[in-house]
Amino acid sequence: MRPHLFFCRAGNSIFSAGFGRNLINSNMEQSDINRSLNMQNIRHPAVAGTFYPADQRQLAASIRGFLDAAGADAGLVFPKAIIVPHAGYIYSGQTAAEAYSRLAAGRNTIRRVVLLGPTHRLAVRGLALPEADSFETPLGRVALDKAAMALLRALPQVVVSAEAHAHEHSLEVQLPFLQTVLEDFSLVPLLVGDADAGEVAEVLDTLWGNEETVIVVSSDLSHYLSYSLAQEIDQLTVQKILAMKDSLTHQQACGGTPINGLVRAARKHRLHPSLLAMCNSGDSVGDKQRVVGYAAFIFSAEAGDA
């Protein structure tokens, strides 16, 4: 299929859709509920109001607008993995929506999301899990899959770092999309630092699962090049991903390491990548001197099912 080459801009839509299920047992006393919630270790949003709206209704309407404008056809097949950008929604929200709209077919099937992104603020050796029990956004809380996280902690390349997760945006900006397109899921959030493709692929293999598990890799492409040079460099990066080459540098994609790990795991599991959309920040804000590149991919079991 031909990818959508569009301007990165916010969509407009009237607020709609409900979010998630109320998982609290209706028989619990209110005091027990409050005590349980107070005991939870919650990772609160760090970039609400900057990267995306902090107001619940505005955020929901923004996400719905992006998804309504996405070019996905309704279908029963959803991808095993996606790559999506993590800039402010005004820059890359529509690009991300092109991939997230494909997960809608798995709304009642997907129960676990393995979410990987690069660290921007704190150096980490290996892949870092948080200490939290849940991640929160203006749309609500997402429970973490503690059993899956326990499995990963047995791997030598996996560490625990609340500090790495505290202010990182690369994972947080993906959550409102996931909360909108999926019904009831748990999360395994991993920040990828100094690691290699094999270490990342081993983590993904450990939690690969079946249709209940989907993998999301958060990454932008080139940073702060001129508009024309960014288009040239990003096109080479896209072709590398489509050719299943696991040798991206951080100059080509800030999330090059998790992308490389996904590509290596995808080769093993015979997945096929498809490009859905690409653009850069110059398409939305008009400044073409220093732009950031974005692209959306899906990885599916059969080529051409996008």
pLDDT tens digits, 1-38 = 445 554 444 333 322 333 333 333 434 455 554 444 45
In the chain, where does DSSP find H-type helix? 30-39, 56-69, 89-103, 146-153, 162-166, 169-172, 175-181, 197-206, 227-242, 256-268, 282-285
Answer yes or no: is pLDDT of 285 > 90: no
How does residue 161 score in pLDDT terms, banded at 50, 70 and 90?
very high
Q: Which single residue is written with the structure tokens 């590398």?
A: 240
163 domain residue, yes or no: yes
Does a structural domain hold residue 70?
yes
**Given pLDDT bands bounded at 50, 70 and 90, which one contains residue 303?**
low
> What pLDDT was estimated at residue 284?
87
Task: Determine if the pTM surpasses 0.85.
Answer: yes
- Each residue's pLDDT tens digit, 231-280: 999 999 999 999 999 999 999 999 999 999 999 999 999 999 999 999 99
The answer as to whether 220 is a domain residue is yes
Does 22 reside within a domain? Answer: no
Quick one: average pLDDT of 136-157?
Answer: 98
State residue 1's pLDDT score. 47
CATH of the domain at 181: 3.40.830.10
Q: Looking at per-residue confidence, does 8 or 142 come out higher?
A: 142
pLDDT grade for 287, boundaries at 50, 70 and 90: confident
Residue 145 included in any domain: yes
Instruction: With both helix axes pointing from N to C terminus, report the angle between 197-206 and 146-153 in degrees, rounded to the nearest 10.
Output: 140
- The answer as to whether 7 is a domain residue is no
| Domain ranges, residue 116 | 48-300
Considering the domain boundaries, does residue 287 fall inside one? yes
Residue 1 domain-assigned (yes or no) = no
The count of structural domains within the chain is 1
User: Closest Cα to residue 119, out of 111, 108, 107, 127?
Assistant: 127
